[in-house]
Copies of this chain bind each other. A is one copy, B any other.
Amino acid sequence: MVADVVDTLCRTVTAAKEIRPLSSAVPHPLDDIFHPGSIAVVGASTSQSAMGWVERLLSFGYGGRIYPVNPRATEIAGLKAYPTVRDIPGYVDYAIFNIPARLAPRIMEDCVARHVKVAHIFTAGFSETGKEEAKALEERVIAIAKAGGVRIIGPNCMGIYNPAAGLTFNPLFSREPGDVAFVSQSGAGSTRFVQLANSKGIHFSKVVSYGNAVDLDAPDFLEYLAGDAETAIVTCYIEGVRDGRRFMEAVRECLATKPVIILKAGLTESGAGAAASHTSALAGSKSTWEAFFRQTGAIQVDTLEEIADVILALRYMRRPDGRRVGIVGRGGGIGVIATDTCENAGLKVPPFRSGTRKELAKVIPEAGAGVRNPVETTLGFDGVADFYVKGLNIVDGDPEIDFTMTNIAVDIYGGRQPRMKEGLVKAVEVLADTARTLKKPLVAVLYPGEQVEAVAAVLEARQKLLEAGIPVFPTIEAAARAVSRLINYHTRKDQLRKGVTG
Contacts and interface: CB of A to CB of B under 8 A. Distances in A.
Contact of A336 (B269, B271, B373): B271
B125 A192 contact: no
A440 B351 CA distance: 50
A199 B128 contact: no
A267 interface: yes
A51 interface: yes
A107 B502 CA distance: 66
Nearest to A372: B277
Given A265-B337, A271-B340, A274-B374, A101 B411 contact: no
Given A189-B334, A336-B271, A340-B271, A452 B455 contact: yes
A196 B451 CA distance: 9
Nearest to A269: B343
Interface string A119-143: 0000111001100000000000000
Query: How many copies of the shown chain assemble into the complex?
Result: 2
Interface stretch (A33-41, A80-88, A179-187): A179-187
Given A270-B350, A415-B172, A452-B459, A333 B367 contact: no
A60 to B, nearest CB: 14
A118 to B, nearest CB: 20
A107 to B, nearest CB: 15
A379 B229 CA distance: 37
A411 B459 contact: no
10 contacts: A129-B368, A184-B333, A185-B333, A191-B412, A196-B450, A270-B348, A271-B340, A274-B372, A302-B340, A452-B459
Interface of A: 51, 100-101, 123-125, 128-129, 156, 170, 172, 184-189, 191-192, 195-196, 199-200, 237, 239, 263, 265-271, 273-275, 277-278, 302-304, 330-337, 339-344, 348-351, 366-370, 372-374, 409, 411-412, 415-416, 449-452, 455-456, 459, 477
